[in-house]
Chain A
Amino acid sequence: MESHPIDCAPALPERFEDIEALEDVLSAPTAQLVEDLGRLDGDVLVLGVGGKMGPTLARLARRAAPAKRVVGVARFTDKALRARLESWGVETIACDLLDRAALAALPRLANVVFMAGRKFGATAAAADTWAMNALVPAAVAEAFAASRIVAFSTGCVYPYLPAAGGGATEKTAPSPPPGDYAWSCLARERLFEYASRRFATAGRLIRLNYAIDMRYGVLHDIARAVFAGAPVDLATGHVNVIWQGDANAQALRALAHCTSPTSPLNVTGPETVSVRALAHAFAERFGKRPRFAGTESATAWLSDSTAARRLFGAPRVPLSRMIDWTADWTLRDGASYDKPTRFEVRDGRF
């Protein structure tokens, strides 16, 4: 069991000494999260818990609602991850979500957070990408028709919009640029919507733009490039980012804000962030001169998170703090997943 009390989100640290400290902060619940999960009936099932965000989301749910069962589902090719989740009090079930018989055998908990998805290698193995991003959601939506379903989607369902325009709102018609990845993500949303209408399932579609962890993410990628003296690609000149802990907290709180039929919600930071400015911010902290490649495009994948801020308030961790943490982590050669976000990709081929 988790030993930390729910005094919720102590003051933010100046730096993360190590992965344990990082994950502790990532999974520290706020009072609002505790309150929202407190008014929610039933337990929580996290489908696709084995990705980059899933473990801390499941642990966060567990710490916020110790009286609830939190069950994490994934294939668990990484056995160590399963043991870690169990050590946090998260139950685990190994399941291939593409196997509908295995899916049918999962416990039907009242609350589902759907996090499974496939991005990289999307072009090389397009059929597998569509299977993960479209067929699995359809099967999950059918199997969990009686649950609330908060499904992670992505800001990539939107078209590129002018960098100065503040980004897409939930009312902007989804219409991504060509490519199997982004369109299969729109398929995911559409199939959840279809099932939500057919079975009257309540839900939310979380259109996430770039979660920030120390071990991966846009800030990590840019900081590393600057530190190494490698050029920062400016083709994607503007991004939205949000602290992973805030993104996870908002996704869990969205369980208490589901609609029927399901509806999209942009989850990201409040500001449009300049990649060039980020590179300069890191360079200043490193005492280096940044190098750049290309120039900023007039448009980018950007989302307006006004609606989420109305529901949840501003994210707890401001951008400046994320930059400080990332610079410190990079200077001390902290751990990296070595999984680039490829935020600079503009042709839709991942």
Chain B
Amino acid sequence: MDVLAPHTLPARLDDEAALEDLLSTPSQALIDDLARLDGDIAVLGVAGKVGPTLARLAKRAAPDKRVIGVARFSQPEIRERLESWGVETIACDLLDRDQVAALPKPANVVFMAGRKFGTTGDEPLTWAMNVLVPAIVAEAFAASRIVAISTLCVYPFTPVADGGAGEDTVCAPPGEYANSCIGRERAFEYAAAVHGTRGRLIRLAYAIDMRYGVLHEIASRVRAGEPVDLATGHLSLIWQGDAGAQILRSLAHCATPPRPLNVTAPEIASVRALALAFGQRFDVEPVFRNREAETAWVMDGAEAARLFGAPIVSTETMIDWTADWVARGQPSYGRPTRYEVRDGRF
């Protein structure tokens, strides 16, 4: 498969190789958008869960562009894999101004670095990663376009019945992690105001991979007969490949000041409905605990849909793939999203 389209999607994802191939297969729209974009692409913080497939996706969509992945690369195998895909790599501690200053400065930057888990217990490092690093990067890459990954967690919990937070909802989240993410957005906004930098702030929903993510967790619990917690009863999610594509396509929708953009599937997912859908596929009765709150960390994806159209992979397809993946005991990262947390402590 060379170009991703709804009618070319497979019925199942056989293994990790098939999954990663699909996650990094570009759509025609992405190919066209990147072709119109001048300059090369740096992906800062490339070694997280979404970064490697995003960098590979960029390289496959725009083979003539240099795609440069930057991270500390504490796991050397990620670096080797990126190189094998044609993604150049540079090891760099983004907290070190001198190292950041020495990086090449292509016209396009996707900023993906961030810290969430372990915040409670080492709050200063989270603030440094989520506020200071953006400030350092925004200053060093003032002449580039910067698409920065933010999170739906900058919003307050909003009533599910209202369709989720729109981009103009006032940010007011609980906890140090989420507020440090506001600090990240503010640091990019500030630098854009000082330097005239163009950018976009991507408030990303839960990305869905087969190996981790809210669907993986809910499916695994249902299959194991473990209770599914409904206190967080509703979720915003999006296929990781669609998220990567929309993030890259946002490079063509940058402006100063940088405006936020919700990147999420058009619909809000019900945890109960997801569990029931997995239960049907596994032929087990899901066990629930607690009850749905009226509010959740959910957001409205109307603006992204207007810019990019609907995601290529629907929630229904993700459910099918995830059920099949979990039923066959395919790999898991073993890294829970902790989507059920409601007090902001990660």
- CB of A282 closer than 8 Å to a CB of B: no
Which residues of A have CB within 8 Å of B131?
130, 134-135, 138, 187, 191
Proximity string of chain A (126-144) to chain B, C-beta cutoff 8 Å, 1 when within and 0 when not: 1111110011001000100
CA distance A342 to B330 in the complex (A): 58
With contacts A183-B179, A183-B182 taken as known, whether A190 is within 8 angstroms of B124 at the C-beta atoms is: yes
- CB of A175 closer than 8 Å to a CB of B: yes
- CB of B190 closer than 8 Å to a CB of A: yes
Chain B residue with minimal CB distance to A139? B135
CB interface residues, B 148-192, toward A, < 8 Å: 156, 172-173, 175-176, 179-180, 182-183, 186-187, 189-190
Which residues of A have CB within 8 Å of B126?
190
With contacts A131-B190, A178-B156 taken as known, whether A187 is within 8 angstroms of B175 at the C-beta atoms is: no
Chain A residue with minimal CB distance to B128? A194
Find out whether the CB atom of B183 lies under 8 angstroms from the CB atom of A183: yes
Which residues of B have CB within 8 Å of A184?
183, 186
With contacts A130-B183, A134-B183 taken as known, whether A187 is within 8 angstroms of B127 at the C-beta atoms is: yes
With contacts A130-B190, A186-B179 taken as known, whether A178 is within 8 angstroms of B173 at the C-beta atoms is: yes
- Most central of A131, A142, A190 by chain B CB within 10 Å: A190
Q: Which of B123, B182, B190 contacts A190 (CB 8 A)?
A: B123
Q: Which of A127, A128, A191 contacts B124 (CB 8 A)?
A: A191
Find out whether the CB atom of A191 lies under 8 angstroms from the CB atom of B186: no
- CB of B125 closer than 8 Å to a CB of A: yes
Whole-angstrom distance from the CB of A273 to the nearest CB of chain B? 29
- CB of A179 closer than 8 Å to a CB of B: yes
Whole-angstrom distance from the CB of B131 to the nearest CB of chain A? 5
CA distance A126 to B193 in the complex (A): 12
Q: How large is the interface on A (under 10, 10 to 19, 20 to 34, 35 or more residues)?
A: 20 to 34
Which residues of A have CB within 8 Å of B269?
none
CB interface residues, A 167-182, toward B, < 8 Å: 174-175, 178-180
- CB of B132 closer than 8 Å to a CB of A: yes
CA distance A127 to B195 in the complex (A): 13
CA distance A183 to B193 in the complex (A): 21
Chain B residue with minimal CB distance to A197? B124
Find out whether the CB atom of B190 lies under 8 angstroms from the CB atom of A187: no
Whole-angstrom distance from the CB of A231 to the nearest CB of chain B? 28
Q: Which of B135, B175, B193 contacts A135 (CB 8 A)?
A: B135
With contacts A138-B135, A183-B183, A194-B127 taken as known, whether A127 is within 8 angstroms of B189 at the C-beta atoms is: yes
Whole-angstrom distance from the CB of B84 to the nearest CB of chain A? 35
Proximity string of chain B (87-110) to chain A, C-beta cutoff 8 Å, 1 when within and 0 when not: 000000000010000000000000
Which residues of A have CB within 8 Å of B179?
183, 186-187
CA distance A134 to B134 in the complex (A): 12
- CB of A304 closer than 8 Å to a CB of B: no
- CB of A193 closer than 8 Å to a CB of B: yes
Find out whether the CB atom of A130 lies under 8 angstroms from the CB atom of B186: yes
Q: Which of B128, B176, B187 contacts A186 (CB 8 A)?
A: B176
Q: Closest 3 A-B residue pairs measured CB to CB? A: A178-B172, A130-B186, A190-B127
Residues of A with Cβ closer than 8 Å to B?
126-131, 134-135, 138, 142, 174-175, 178-180, 183-184, 186-187, 190-191, 193-194, 197, 348
What are 24 A-to-B residue pairs whose CB atoms are below 8 Å?
Answer: A127-B187, A127-B193, A129-B186, A131-B190, A134-B135, A138-B135, A175-B176, A178-B156, A179-B172, A183-B183, A184-B183, A186-B179, A187-B131, A187-B179, A187-B180, A190-B123, A190-B127, A190-B128, A190-B176, A190-B180, A193-B124, A194-B124, A194-B128, A348-B172
